[in-house]
Structure 1
Amino acid sequence: MKKWLLPMSVMLAASTALTGCYGGGSAEEETSGDNADSGDIKQEIVVNAMSEPPAIDPALATDTTSGWVLDHIFEGLYTRDQEGNPVLGVAEDVAVSEDGTTYTFTLREDAKWSDGSQVTASDFEYAWKRVLNPDTGSSFAFYMYYIKGAEDYNKGNGSVEDVGITAVDDTTFEVQLNSPLGYFDSLLTLWTFYPVQQAAAEENENWAAEADTFVSNGPFEMAEWNHDSNVVIEKNDDYYDKDVVNLDKVTFELVNEATTYYQMFKTEELDLVMTLPTDVIASERENEEYVEVPYYGTYMYMFNVEQEPFTNAKVRQAFAMSVDRESLTENVTLGGETPAYAMVPDGAETPEGDFREVGGDYFKENAEEAKKLLEEGMAEEGWSELPEVTLMYNTSENHKKIAEAVQEMVSNNLGVDIKLANQEWGTYLDTTKQGNFQMARMGWIGIFVDPVVNLDYYLGDSPNNRTGWVNEEFDSIMAESKVEQDNDKRYELLHQAEEILMTDMPFMPVYFYKNNYLVSTDFEDVVYYVNRYPHLKWAEKTN
């Protein structure tokens, strides 16, 4: 079923089992901020985010945990409705030039910061140029390279004055693009494009590190950040659309051990948990609190092509071919995931059909061929023995089970014994960013449903590409795809780029995600996008 390829909502009705899965919820269903029908029900929800958010800062966040909080406490020029479609947010109007390269946004005069001051065009200009400032070190700055002068400035080859970002006046914000971009509205829903209050950031460079100095403009505001324990956000009464916000308080608990947070859900200490222990998924599927939704992303193991033995492409290919993904998803992960033999997941519709179906698989498991490739790769390098290999993963019970299964498959099919190592999420991100690994787990979720955002991960100059792999032909084709106005030709270029990536294979895809949750039926109108964690803007407690 391909009905999920646009972000959708799933509504949880208090008196029934899961209904309207994959789009049954209606964006027209009304919610009310005055809780008139809720009586004395305390409008609070406690969810589990699992790990400490590394950076709740629009310029610095690169992970889904930080993004989950940011999406609730900030809002950009565009936001998303309950069906996941981009709609105007802080901007009340937009005018686009005839050639499609200049966007002029008119900001809402009632858009306020959580301290009650007005959100201005200057705040957007400051925030976006802060992302692009080389000194900021934003790993997501490349998402702004569509803007005139942005790439040169970010790479130290141009001036900030030449960047096509201008606050004309308090409520008029102008953006100049290098060329027309059909998905610009979807791109602007990414947290990297959220505003930052210039006064707060200039007064304190660590404004986003603690709750008491935090200023934001979304439906909720930061109330507490008890590091490594929880993050608490509360309804923002200065939010212009506050009447649709029912919840007064959202607590993100940071419990990483799957059995523990599962039990906390069962004892009603948590109202929403995700990534269930694999051994309970089968039994929980019949539970009315169980929710399973597609998630537009790829679970993979990166190879550091600058560290032996993964300096050799045949060795990388051998490892990828030695893992039985069908067995892994059916017997280990158990969450409905799809075995992956490419980078781009199912769900991106093109004129010829689903991008993944058109592109097909690039390899299959084959133990004999894998052994042959390994021997050839070792011979090319002059190795009589394969250098010792350590596979790293971030601390999680489920990641550990997957890593142990991969360890066993590689041993059985290649005769290679690999070691396992794990680190807490924030430390892990730093370690892999520095290239201190041979083979490491990673997941990449598209910020919107288009192959370009999946393939961008492996651009040679992408700070997110931690493999050390650089391919000029791949980069050139990706750049060409971003200015190609003919959609058929654009997708053709993206297929060419993926083929180059999968031939050289600086990573091995494992599976395409599917998220599973347990959500208390006391709540309705929790929204599930295919590329974000559950959105709680419209959620309401009914029991």
Structure 2
Amino acid sequence: MKKWLSGFLLVLAVGLVLAGCKSEGAADQGSTEDIDQEIVVNAMSEPPDLDPALATDTTSGWVLDHVFEGLYTKDKEGNPVLGTASDVQVSEDGKTYTFTIRDDATWSDGSPVTAQDFEYGWKRVLNPDTGSSFAFYMYYIKGAEAYNKGEASVDDVGVTAKDEKTLVVDLEAPLGYFDELLTMWTFYPVKQDVVESDANWSASEDTYVSNGPFKLTSWEHDSQVVIEKNEEYWDKGVVKLDKVTYEMVNDATTYYQMFKTNELDLIQTLPTDVIDQEKDSEEYKETPYFGTYMYMFNVDKEPFTNAKIRRAFTLAVDRTSLTENVSKAGETPAYAFVPEGVETPEGDFREIGGAYFEEDAEKAKQLLQEGMEEEGWDELPEVTLLYNTSENHKKIAEAVQEMYSKNLGVDIKLSNQEWKTYLDTTEQGNFQMARMGWIGVLVDPVVILDYYLGDSPNNRTNWVNEEYDELIAQAKVEQDEQKRYDLLHQAEEVLMEDLPFNPIYHYTNTYLTSQNFKDIVYPVNRYPYLKWAQKVSE
């Protein structure tokens, strides 16, 4: 997989990362010294949390990836490379990693980054009192799961700062993609005295301390976030931008017009009605995005307590029509959970697994009737589909609403909430059916399938299946690559049989980026990375 990932991202870098940006030759024709090195991008909504231990969404992650750095970071081609660590030694059995922290690794307040900062930050994520929804990503570490579940002491966790510059990490079993895993924000360090001196340290630029290429300098909540070049960053020489402004404009028509009037330099998720006219523009980019757009079913809320009714609502959606006529961004209709893009010894994981169902309105009606008879219902309980506020989500929800009326004879209601409120509502289980997207932090099936683990805080459906959980657990320690993928296929089959969710499509991201910039990176599982970006013309 890593060999494929490296090659794929190299192709992506050559074909997409720099595409549409001003050529090197053009940039060299004039000096950029007199050009203000600033870029304005659209985050669309308020980042729910800029604490690395608590962030669970791509909007927060977009900012965090610029203001923090882990032991590993990514190069321009998307490969994991040493970041805040200058060296790593791996034991012969692959279970112990010894990291050396860079001598010049520094916090934005000028103090040195230490191994203790990583030990504290990781154990804080695992501390049950922290309530981190992403703590399970650390379960590969010895003793991490037991501590997080209150079954062991923090001293049993295999993360130890031997001295200020030496961090030793012990794993439960060898993990071939551990370097890749450590690039995600959950594994960033945090400064203990900063965190413990103010419970709201991550909500204001006045108390925010980080160690990445940029630092937080302004946060006007529900309006904009501003980050500026961190002069204390060890690799500051590669950072060309002095300032990045994240605006929070949710209405697609509005932010599209702001791009056209040069108020925004980069926008994503284009309004569906402008995609056709923009596709031939040099500013347009369409990039793979390793994730799935779906509707979650709350299996504890009627009518989705019934598996046949869940399947009926799944079979009644015409995904081809949605992707071709509504979203229009080149997405792939989803008939499973794991997207394409993972190369296994036998071929692409998705192609090997195939589709788990076909759209079938007549079958959907039959299953709906059978499910209602099993429950003793003469009529279906009222159904409300909840989505987070977005013009594109609204259009898709309205199209799905029409499909249910036509194909099932069911009239559902629609409701929307702003992103932060929406996350709270779904986390509390106050929904019947709700939109969600899940992006793999790694290009690997396990990080997609992790979503529906019974004890995953991200699984908001209340669906728990012991067979599914056990298959995922076995896959995580299986050292034979093909056997590992076989176990993951079996797990996905269990998931798709019960269907606690309705997969709609596998993502493609659409962007418009000003031609005034070069060297913006467009990863397959993150939003655009601006570490190397440079403005070359006004």
Give the TM-score normalised by structure 1: 0.95
Asked if 1:176 is matched to 2:170, the reply is: yes
CA contact (8 A) 2:18 2:519 kept: no
CA contact (8 A) 2:317 2:359 kept: yes
One of 445, 470, 493 as aligned partner of 1:451: 445
Cα drift, residue 83 of structure 1: 0.5
Counterpart for residue 337 of structure 1: 331
Counterpart for residue 366 of structure 1: 360
Asked if 1:98 is matched to 2:65, the reply is: no
Cα drift, residue 37 of structure 1: 3.3
Counterpart for residue 439 of structure 1: 433
Asked if 1:510 is matched to 2:515, the reply is: no
| In structure 1, distance between residues paired with 2:416 and 2:7 | 34
Cα drift, residue 233 of structure 1: 0.2
Counterpart for residue 532 of structure 2: 538
Asked if 1:286 is matched to 2:280, the reply is: yes
Counterpart for residue 322 of structure 1: 316
Map residues 177-216 of structure 1 onto 2, 5 A cutoff: 177-216=171-210
- Amino acid of the residue matched to residue 530 of structure 2? L
Counterpart for residue 516 of structure 2: 522
Map residues 204-353 of structure 1 onto 2, 5 A cutoff: 204-353=198-347
Q: How many residues were matched structurally?
A: 528
- Amino acid of the residue matched to residue 316 of structure 2? S
Any idea what SS the aligned residue of 1:212 has?
coil
Cα drift, residue 202 of structure 1: 1.4
Cα drift, residue 43 of structure 1: 0.2
How has the CA–CA distance of structure 1 residues 377 and 342 changed in structure 2, closer, same or farther, with 3 Å as cutoff?
Answer: same
1:199-225 per-position Cα deviation (integer Å, ceiling 9, x unaligned): 111111211011111000000000000
Cα drift, residue 21 of structure 1: 2.4
Cα drift, residue 22 of structure 1: 4.0
Counterpart for residue 380 of structure 2: 386
| In structure 2, distance between residues paired with 1:181 and 1:30 | 39
CA contact (8 A) 1:219 1:241 kept: yes
Any idea what SS the aligned residue of 2:147 has?
helix
CA contact (8 A) 1:9 1:527 kept: no
Counterpart for residue 400 of structure 1: 394
| In structure 1, distance between residues paired with 2:419 and 2:342 | 29
One of 19, 31, 38 as aligned partner of 1:37: 31
Any idea what SS the aligned residue of 1:511 has?
strand
Cα drift, residue 93 of structure 1: 0.5
| In structure 2, distance between residues paired with 1:103 and 1:496 | 31
CA contact (8 A) 1:4 1:22 kept: no
Counterpart for residue 72 of structure 2: 78
| In structure 2, distance between residues paired with 1:77 and 1:3 | 20
Counterpart for residue 17 of structure 1: none
1:506-526 per-position Cα deviation (integer Å, ceiling 9, x unaligned): 001000000000000000000
- Which range moved further: 60-69 or 370-379? 370-379
CA contact (8 A) 2:18 2:521 kept: no
Any idea what SS the aligned residue of 2:15 has?
coil
How has the CA–CA distance of structure 1 residues 10 and 234 changed in structure 2, closer, same or farther, with 3 Å as cutoff?
Answer: farther
Any idea what SS the aligned residue of 2:311 has?
helix
- Amino acid of the residue matched to residue 364 of structure 2? A
| In structure 1, distance between residues paired with 2:16 and 2:269 | 19
How has the CA–CA distance of structure 1 residues 30 and 121 changed in structure 2, closer, same or farther, with 3 Å as cutoff?
Answer: farther
Counterpart for residue 464 of structure 1: 458
Cα drift, residue 418 of structure 1: 0.3
One of 154, 159, 166 as aligned partner of 1:160: 154
Cα drift, residue 24 of structure 1: 6.9
How has the CA–CA distance of structure 1 residues 184 and 258 changed in structure 2, closer, same or farther, with 3 Å as cutoff?
Answer: same
How has the CA–CA distance of structure 1 residues 30 and 172 changed in structure 2, closer, same or farther, with 3 Å as cutoff?
Answer: farther
One of 97, 117, 124 as aligned partner of 1:123: 117
CA contact (8 A) 1:10 1:526 kept: no
1:122-147 per-position Cα deviation (integer Å, ceiling 9, x unaligned): 00000001100111100000000011
| In structure 2, distance between residues paired with 1:6 and 1:71 | 21
| In structure 1, distance between residues paired with 2:16 and 2:489 | 27
| In structure 1, distance between residues paired with 2:246 and 2:16 | 25
| In structure 2, distance between residues paired with 1:159 and 1:376 | 50
- Amino acid of the residue matched to residue 461 of structure 1? D
Give the root-mean-square deviation of aligned CA atoms: 1.7
Counterpart for residue 377 of structure 1: 371
Which portions of structure 1, spanning 4 or more consecutive aligned residues, are displaced by more than 2 angstroms?
2-11, 20-25
How has the CA–CA distance of structure 1 residues 190 and 6 changed in structure 2, closer, same or farther, with 3 Å as cutoff?
Answer: farther
| In structure 2, distance between residues paired with 1:398 and 1:30 | 35
1:450-487 per-position Cα deviation (integer Å, ceiling 9, x unaligned): 00000000000000000000000000000000000000
Counterpart for residue 69 of structure 1: 63
How has the CA–CA distance of structure 1 residues 126 and 256 changed in structure 2, closer, same or farther, with 3 Å as cutoff?
Answer: same
CA contact (8 A) 2:327 2:392 kept: yes
Q: Structure 1 vs Structure 2: percent identity of aligned residues?
A: 72
